[in-house]
Amino acid sequence: DADVTQTPRNRITKTGKRIMLECSQTKGHDRMYWYRQDPGLGLRLIYYSFDVKDINKGEISDGYSVSRQAQAKFSLSLESAIPNQTALYFCATSDAWTDSNQPQHFGDGTRLSIL
Amino acid sequence: GENVGLHLPTLSVQEGDNSIINCAYSNSASDYFIWYKQESGKGPQFIIDIRSNMDKRQGQRVTVLLNKTVKHLSLQIAATQPGDSAVYFCAERGYSTLTFGKGTMLLVSP
């Protein structure tokens, strides 16, 4: 979905390095999410933000931090990368839950490899 | 991504067949369900959704069925095409976020 842009698309780095993954959206959505995808495990929620002043931990937040710089920008940081954080990372956005259906819309992911 | 499909259940069909992909969800309080398609190297793409007050919803070539009694969701794809080959995920909305299933890989042979 070109409305949700993730950078970089691929990154290889070394254990102990600090890494930032960035996400920007043009959909005008208030809510943004970071997921991790590992083979056979599906998508697992790391952090989410319902507006600029709201940050919430997801299922697997340990070892990660986030920053919501603006409505359109949500970045994910690995303060000291370790090999088991090697995975595909996805950013998603959605409008607020109302009585209408509001699916999440995903970027095309960042493939992160930690050596 | 290209490794997403490892270790996933796989459904293999011939082009033109109808496909049925199943999903068991966990939270009886979930009020909204979504099916996503993920192609290699891409992020999940929304296909169709359904709210818990419905049993069936149809889109273009796709139908979602919801059985709340047994907490089961299915995606039916009519006249499956090679371009339908992908990993398919269901997701359920419980309290404030979505929970995703592990996915099923659909392989369509010409």
Q: Residue A98's pLDDT is what? A: 57
**Candidates B1, B5, B51; nearest CB to A109:** B1
Name which of A88, A101, A108 is nearest B51 (Cβ-Cβ): A101
The mean of the pLDDT values for chain A is 92
Query: What's the whole-number mean pLDDT along residues B71-86?
Result: 96
**Is the predicted pLDDT of residue B55 greater than 60, yes or no?**
yes
Task: For residue A102, name the pLDDT band (cuts at 50, 70, 90).
Answer: confident
Separation in Å, CA B24 to CA A62, B78, B97, B107: 28, 21, 18, 21
**Closest C-alpha among B79, B76, B95 to residue B32:** B95
Alpha carbon of A21: minimum distance to chain B alpha carbons (Å): 15
- B26-to-A62, A110, B50, B101 alpha-carbon distances in Å: 24, 29, 16, 10
Q: Please say whether the dihedral angle defined by the alpha carbons of residues B76, B79, B84 and B86, taken in this order, is positive or negative.
A: positive
Give yes or no for residue B5 having a pLDDT over 80: no
Buried b (16+ CB within 10 A) or exposed e, A29-43: bebbbbbbbbbeebb
The more confidently predicted of residues A109 and A40 is A109
* Residue A3 phi, psi (nearest 5): -75, -15
Say yes or no for a CB contact (<8 Å) between A90 and B101: no
